[in-house]
Structure 1
Amino acid sequence: MHPEPSMHKVVAVIPCYDHAQTIGRMVDAVRAHQLDAIVVDDGSHAACAEVLDGLARLHGASMTLLRLAHNQGKGGAMMAGLQRALALGYTHALQIDADGQHDVADIPKFLALSGEQPDAVVYGAALYDDCVPKARLYGRYATHVWVWINTLSLDIRDSMCGFRVYPLAPVVRLIQQTRLGRRMDFDTELLVRLHWQGLRLTCQPTRVRYPADGVSHFKLVLDNVLISRMHARMLAGMLLRLPRLLWRKVAP
């Protein structure tokens, strides 16, 4: 059964930090699928800020440019964008990166699944080609194991892929009630906490590529430290919730 259109009003939220070469293509891609866009300028430098101003003029009312005075990290930008989306009256948000690594041809698949399951988070599970850096790939496997431990399940196949559709009400409520990681730790922590709350999570496999000329803001030392700290917090949180998580497994 499909929800009424008023119950499924989706906007794309795109965090952007100095992705001047690719952001235009990403906005065009989501607009091609009849989605409005909220682009969060996460403290970009002048060259990218100028590109974003031009895109805002070009797309008019179909694109909202939310400008953060200082760089807050991907998580900080996404939290600002998701809260603005809910305030503007949208019910769901498609999260997609600005750097072109996500396969925009899969947008209809994400939207269709979300339309069928409007109460669920539809999250991407990355399918990589040979261009993925090996260090990043192995690091993802380590995070997968920690997520399985911290949820006592294999329910989350990929917690790090930033291609998703969120139901905004429960996600924004969590953002406002909990101090979440503001950098690359955001995507994983958010999914784990939503799983703890019992929100349905639906997986959509999707191809992810790392362009040779792409701009990555992953800080090898800093972000790995933050991710490690996040896993430690999640482990402590799992232990506090252990009776409830175990009961969920055996309850009819």
Structure 2
Amino acid sequence: MNAVAPAFRPLVVIPVYDHEHAIGAMVDGVLAVGQSCLLVDDGSRESCAAELRRQAAREGVRLLRLEKNRGKGGAMLAGFREAARLGASHVLQIDADGQHDATDIPRFLQAAQAAPDSVINGAPVYDASVPKGRLYGRYLTHVWVWINTLSFAIRDSMCGFRVYPLEPVLKLIDEEFVGQRMDFDPEIVVRLHWRGVGIENLATPVRYPSDGVSHFDVWRDNVRISRMHTRLFFGMLRRLPRLAWRALR
């Protein structure tokens, strides 16, 4: 008797911190492609919190409020747990600032349904709006990620447009530390890769950002990312025999 495949129940999770001018258009885009979403208010100011409450009154929109700002990673960790409580099997993460194209959501979910045990990882295709300093800085992180995984499986480690299978994510965050601010996106995908979770890269257009608001702190976040690379490098050394064997295979 054939086993019944588990149900595919995706939920779009959007971490939000003071993006009140962009979030309405993003929610419109999610609903337009027939998906429900969970907004995670990461301790936003009152003007944004009020807009998020207004959005949450719409059918298909839920709101989780964090009273204190935890950072993007902290908001996503809370969003993963809430999505699981709501019965989701997968989380589609998309940033609140409008840099990602919501019309690509069905394509990401189709890829996730075809490879339900893998992360569907956005690989950005930038337009002219991308700041050159941010673009070059990303490549330094990519190189470290390739070193720390001994592979090129993760084409872009910093894209905020992904689909995660919830079961391995919850197991990971219960057992290991994952950076909770701008170090979150690269760290979680590396740690999932270390655990044998597949990575499927999907090209997607990216523009910077529709409301002109960026919460990247050049000094603090670069220090956090440098510390993350150090953590991951020593983690890679501990896993070196297994990663090398996987790379040779």
> Shorter-chain TM-score: what band?
over 0.9
Task: Establish whether residue 164 from structure 1 lines up as the match of residue 162 from structure 2.
Answer: yes
Check conservation: 2:21, 2:211, Cα contact below 8 A.
no
> For residue 108 of structure 1, what is the amino acid of its counterpart?
P
Identify which of 136, 140, 153 aligns with 2:151.
153
> For residue 87 of structure 1, what is the amino acid of its counterpart?
R
Which residue is 1:37 aligned to?
37
Give distance in 2, aligned partners of 1:215 and 1:191: 25
Deviation at 1:165, TM superposition (A): 0.5
Task: Establish whether residue 97 from structure 1 lines up as the match of residue 95 from structure 2.
Answer: yes
Deviation at 1:221, TM superposition (A): 0.4
Give distance in 2, aligned partners of 1:74 and 1:212: 18
Alignment of 1:73-84 (within 5 A): 73-84=71-82
Check conservation: 2:98, 2:211, Cα contact below 8 A.
no
Give distance in 2, aligned partners of 1:167 and 1:213: 30
Deviation at 1:250, TM superposition (A): 3.4
Alignment of 1:15-164 (within 5 A): 15-59=15-59, 62-164=60-162
Which residue is 2:235 aligned to?
237
Deviation at 1:5, TM superposition (A): 8.4
Alignment of 1:203-242 (within 5 A): 203-211=201-209, 213-242=211-240
List runs of 5+ in structure 1 lacking aligned partners: none
**Percent of paired sites with the same residue:** 57
List runs of 5+ in structure 2 lacking aligned partners: none
TM-score (norm 2): 0.96
Deviation at 1:88, TM superposition (A): 1.0
> For residue 194 of structure 2, what is the amino acid of its counterpart?
W
SS at match of 1:217: coil
Give distance in 1, aligned partners of 2:133 and 2:205: 18
Deviation at 1:39, TM superposition (A): 0.3
CA deviation digits over 1:46-100, x for unaligned, max 9? 10011011111123xx222000010000000000001110111110011000000
Give distance in 2, aligned partners of 1:243 and 1:96: 35
Larger displacement relative to structure 2 (242-251 or 97-106): 242-251
Give distance in 2, aligned partners of 1:45 and 1:157: 35
Aligned residues: 247
Change (3 A) 1:5 1:23: farther
SS at match of 1:54: helix
Change (3 A) 1:212 1:77: closer
Which residue is 2:174 aligned to?
176
Give distance in 1, aligned partners of 2:10 and 2:210: 31
SS at match of 2:15: strand
Give distance in 2, aligned partners of 1:77 and 1:91: 18
TM-score (norm 1): 0.95
Runs of 4+ in 1 over 4 A off after TM superposition: 3-6
Give distance in 2, aligned partners of 1:172 and 1:35: 22
